[in-house]
A and B are shown apart, each in its own frame.
Chain A
Amino acid sequence: MSDTTANPLLTTADGKPLKAALARAERRARYRAFLLVLPLLAFILITFVTPIAQMLHQSVYNEGFTMHTEIGSGERTPIMVNIKAWFDENPAGTEPGEAAFAALAEDMKTLRELRAAGSAGTRINYERSGTRSMFTKAARNANKIEPPFKEAFVDLDEDWTDPALWRVMRDASTPYTMNFYLAAIDLTKSPDGDIESVAENRQVYVTLFQRTLFLSVLITFLTFALGYPVAHLLATLPLRHSNLLMILVLLPFWTSLLVRTTSWMVLLQSQGVINDALVGVGLLGDGNRLQMMYNQIGTVVAMTHILLPFMVLPLYSVMRPINPSYVRAARSLGATSWTAFWRIYFPQTVAGIGAGALLVFILSVGYYITPALVGGASGQLISNLIAFHMQNSLNWSLAAALAALLLGGVLILYWLYDRLVGIDNLKLG
C-alpha cells in the first residue's frame, strides 16, 4: 500500500503502468471469450443466417424472364434481350408498336430454341394469370411469325396488346422486383404502374395473416387462462408435491409434436374418443356428432395443448419466489381474498405473463405441422400457405416474400421479448 501511494503512477512488478497492463489483460480476456464463441457464431452464420439471407434475396429477385439456365450443364443464356432493349428505350406507358412486337418475335425464337417459353411465361403468369399459354403458343409458332408482327401476335391471341401484360413484362425484364411483396399483401400494379388491390375473389394473403394473428392471440389467451391456475398451484404447493405435478407439465413438453397432434386427431375426429364418449353418455345423438377436426377448433385445441407448457414454465418461475406473507398481510388488513389476489399477488406475476404470452405468441404465428394435419381448410395458417407455394405451386419468390413478412413480424416480437424479458431468462423446465 505505502509503496503504491508513494508512486504517482501505478506500475506492475515489471515496471509497466498498471492501467495499461490491466487494460491489456482485459482485452486479452475479451479476446479469449470471443474466441470461444467464434466457432459457433461462424457455424450459425453459415447454416442459418446465410440461408435466410438467400431467402430474402429470392423474395426480390426472380430471373425467370431474363435468364435461362440449362438443366444439367448449368449454362446460362440471357433471354428476352430484345424486348428488354425496347423497354429501356421507351418509357413506361408507351403504346407497344411494331418495333416492340418485332423485338418480341425475335425473343420468341430464342425461347423456342432454348425451350424456355414455359418458364418465361410462368414468370409473367405469376402476376397476370392466364398468360403462360400465350408464351408457349407464341414460341411454338415463333418461326411462322412474320411481319407485320403486331397483327401476327394478335392473331395468336388478342390479349397480346393488353397494357397490363406489357406492364408485367416491363417489370419482369429486370430481375429485381418488389412485386412479390405486393402480391403477398393482395396488391398489384395497374397498367399505369399505380398500386391497387387485386380482385376480391383472389384476395387470400391478408385474410390469412389476419387469421394467423387472430388465432395466435386466441391461443395465447387460452394458454394463459389454463396456465395461470396451474402455475399458481405448482408455485404454492410444497416442493415435494409440486415437483411431481411438474412432471405432468413437462411430459407433454418432451413428447413429440407429431405424437401429440396424432393424439388430438384420435380424440377429436367424428368417430373419435370424445365424440364416442359423448354419444355413449347420451349427450349427443349418433347422427349429429360434433365436427371438431379439420377446422379452426382442431387447430386451436391442439395448439393450446401443445403450447401450454411454454406458458406454465415462465409463470411458474415468476410465481415461485413470491413471498406468501404479502397476501396474508393484505388479508389481515381486511382485504377479501379477491382483493388480496388482484391487488397484491397478480401485479407480481405480470412479468411472467408477459414472458409466457410473448413466447407462446411467437411460437404460434409460425406453426405449420399441427394446422396442416388438423386444420382442414379454415384452420390453415400463413405457414401452410408458404409451404403450399414452396411445394405445390412452386412460386418460390412469393413463398419467400410471405416468409419474409412473417419473419419480420417474428423478429419484432423477438426484439420485444429480449427487451422486456431478456433472452437469458429463457428456461427449459
Chain B
Amino acid sequence: MNTEISTNQATASFRFSLSFFALLSAFVVLVVMNARESGLLEAATAMLVTSAVAAGVAFVLVSVFDTKRTAVIVLGAMGLVLGLFAGGVGMAVAGAVMAVLIAHFVFWIHFRHYRDGLPNYLSSNEILWHYTYLVICAVIFVFLIAPILVIIPLSFNVEPYFTFTEKMLAFDPEGYSTRWYDLLLTFGMLEPDAPRDMSWWSDAWANANWINAAKNSVIIGFFATILATTLGTIAALGLSRSEMPYRRAIMAILISPMIVPIIIVATGLFFFYSKVGIHTWGIPYFGVVLAHATLGIPFVIITVTATLVGFDHSLTRAAASLGADPVQTFRRVQMPLILPGVVSGALFAFVTSFDEVVVVLFIGALDEQTIPRQMWNGIREQISPAILSVATILVVISILLLTTVELLRRRSERLRGVTPQ
C-alpha cells in the first residue's frame, strides 16, 4: 500500500478503495450475523455477496457521477424511496441520511479527501493513525456525554424500567409518557387525584415532597451563595493585591474546603455543631447554610482572582488621583471588571450547594430535605424513573448555567483585553 500511494497523487486507486469497501461491509455483516447467531455457511455467503455489492456500488458511484454533489443527491433520493418502501416516515429519513453518508464516505475514501488539510509529508500509516486517533477521541467524547444524555429519553419511559423498550426504539408515541414528571408533583400530596384546580396546585405546593425539597434546596443555596459570594469577593480583592502578606498560606487555607474530602468536613461539622448546640438557636437551615457557604467559597475565590489577574492597579490610582473615593473607585473601576467572575463564582457556589448531600445527611434536620438528599434516599431504596425525571431537569438546569458561565467568561476576557490566541 505504501508503495503505490505517492504523496501528491490526487488520482484515485480503485484497487485500494474497492477492496476497502468490500472488507468494511464484510465486517459489518459479520457483526450482524453473529448477533443473529447464523450458521457459518450462511454468514460466509452473506459476507461474500455484500462485499461484492458494496464494491460494485462504490465503483458505479465514482465512475458514473462526475461530481460528489450529484452522487449524494441521487443516492440520498434512492435511500429515501427504499426507506419509505420498507416502512414509514422514520425509516425513510433514516434511509436518506444513511445513503447520503455512504455517498460522502465513498467519495471521501476514493478521491483521498482524507488527506485534505493534513501536512503532505505524512505517510499513509500516519494518516491511518491520525484517523484512528480521531475515532478514539470521538469514543471518549461519547463516554463523557452519553451517560448524561441517556437518562433524558429514559425519563419519558412509559414503563417503570431503566432500559429502552421496543416501542421507544420505534419512536412509537405510546412508548413515551410524562407520568414520572407528574409523579414528581403528586408524590406526597394529600389529594393527588383531585381535579387540578387552584386547591390542587396549592396542595402540591404545600405538600408534594419534591416541591418541598426544591424549596429547601433553593433557600439553602440562595443564602449560602450570598454569604460565599460577598465574603469571597471582598477577600479576593485583598488577595490579588501584591502587598498582601502571607498570601500563599492564606490562599491555601481558603481553597482547602474544596480539597478536603467532604466526609471529613461533614464529620467535623457534626461534632462541632453538637458541641455548640446550633440546633437550639432556632434558626432554620443555619448550620447547613454556613457549611454550604464554606464549600462554595473556594470557587468564588478562584473565579474572582482569575478576573483580577493582570489587573493594572494604576487604574485605581488614576481614579483616586481624579478624586474618586475608594467606594467609587471600586464601583466604577474594579466592579465592572470582576463582575463576570463574581457571577460565575456565585453560580459555582450555588451549584455546589444545590448538589451537596453528605453534609445535609450528617447535620441537616429531618425536615431539611433537599433535592440531592431526596435523590439519595430514592436511589438507595428504589430508582424509579421519577429519579430520572429529576435528573433530567437538573441536566437542563446545568446546561443553562454552563451557557451563562461560558458567555460570562468570554465577556470577561474581552473586557480585560485578554484575547485567546
Contact = CB atoms under 8 A, between A and B. Distances in A.
Interface of A: 26, 29-30, 32-37, 39-41, 43-44, 47-55, 58, 226, 229-230, 233, 239, 245, 247-252, 254-267, 269, 271-273, 276, 280-283, 305, 308-309, 320-321, 328, 331, 337, 362-363, 365-369, 373, 383, 386-387, 390-391, 396, 399-400, 403, 406-407, 410-411, 414, 418, 423-424, 426-429
Nearest to B356: A257
18 contacts: A33-B238, A37-B234, A48-B294, A51-B269, A55-B272, A230-B140, A248-B144, A254-B399, A259-B151, A259-B375, A263-B151, A263-B391, A265-B383, A273-B163, A305-B147, A407-B264, A423-B251, A423-B252
Q: Is the interface of A mostly helix, strand, loop or mixed?
A: helix
Given A369-B358, A410-B264, A414-B256, 15 more contacts: A37-B238, A41-B250, A43-B293, A47-B269, A51-B269, A229-B140, A230-B141, A250-B406, A252-B144, A252-B148, A265-B162, A271-B163, A305-B144, A386-B267, A390-B266
A363 B259 CA distance: 7
A254 B297 contact: no
Nearest to B375: A258
Nearest to B257: A48
B216 to A, nearest CB: 15
A383 B380 CA distance: 17
A139 B31 CA distance: 74
Interface string B25-54: 000000100111100000000000000000
A427 B302 contact: yes
B291 interface: yes
B147 A264 contact: yes
Interface in B391-421: 391, 394-395, 398-399, 401-402, 405-406, 409, 420-421
B161 interface: yes
B73 interface: no
Nearest to A55: B268
B348 interface: yes
A318 to B, nearest CB: 14
B272 A50 contact: yes
A74 B2 CA distance: 86
A251 to B, nearest CB: 6
A426 B254 CA distance: 13
A260 B148 CA distance: 6
A265 B379 contact: yes
B5 interface: no
B243 A26 contact: yes
B315 interface: no
Interface stretch (B56-64, B129-137, B207-215): B129-137
B185 interface: no
A262 B238 contact: no
A373 B380 contact: yes
Given A259-B395, A263-B391, A399 B267 contact: yes
Nearest to A245: B141
Contacts of A396: 271
Contacts of B31: 281
A418 B122 contact: no
Contacts of A367: 261
A380 B31 CA distance: 37
B203 interface: no
B372 interface: yes
Contacts of A257: 355
A80 B19 CA distance: 90
Contacts of A337: 122, 126, 129
A282 B37 contact: yes
B357 interface: yes
A373 B297 CA distance: 28
Which of B232, B271, B305, B348 gathers most chain A CB within 10 Å?
Answer: B271
Interface in B256-315: 256-257, 259-273, 275, 290-291, 293-294, 297, 299, 302-303, 305-306
Contacts of B234: 36-37, 39-40
A37 to B, nearest CB: 4
A328 B118 CA distance: 12
B154 interface: yes
A41 B379 contact: no
Contacts of A249: 144
Interface string B225-255: 0000001101101110101110010111111
A273 B235 CA distance: 48
B103 interface: no
A37 B144 CA distance: 38
Nearest to B162: A266
Q: Is the interface of B mostly helix, strand, loop or mixed?
A: helix
A60 to B, nearest CB: 13
A251 B142 CA distance: 12
Contacts of B275: 54
Q: Which 4 A-B pairs have CB atoms at the shortest separation, nearest pair first?
A: A366-B261, A36-B238, A282-B35, A51-B268
Contact of B245 (A30, A55, A407, A424): A30
B387 interface: yes
A273 B164 contact: yes
Contacts of B362: 390-391
B394 A256 contact: yes
A26 B355 CA distance: 43
B238 A258 contact: no
A250 B409 CA distance: 13
Contacts of B406: 247, 250, 429
A387 B361 CA distance: 10
Contacts of B171: none
A257 B265 CA distance: 18
Contacts of A305: 143-144, 147
Given A262-B379, A263-B151, A373-B380, A256 B398 contact: yes
B261 A368 contact: yes
A40 B150 contact: no
B355 A258 contact: yes
B145 interface: yes
A265 B344 CA distance: 31
A49 B391 CA distance: 34
A400 B267 contact: yes
Contacts of B77: none
Contacts of B37: 282
A408 B302 CA distance: 24
Contact of A254 (B161, B163, B235, B398): B398
A49 B253 contact: yes
A280 to B, nearest CB: 8
A427 B421 CA distance: 18
B252 to A, nearest CB: 6
Contacts of A39: 231, 234-235
Contact of B263 (A30, A255, A264, A368): A368
Nearest to A302: B147
Interface in B366-392: 372, 375-376, 379-380, 383, 387-388, 391
A230 B164 CA distance: 29
Contacts of B257: 44, 48
Given A259-B394, A262-B379, A414 B271 contact: no
A429 B151 CA distance: 24
A247 B394 contact: no
Interface in B98-130: 119, 121-122, 126, 129
Contacts of A328: 119
Which of A54, A308, A373 gathers most chain B CB within 10 Å?
Answer: A54
Contacts of B78: none
Given A54-B275, A272-B163, A48 B265 contact: yes
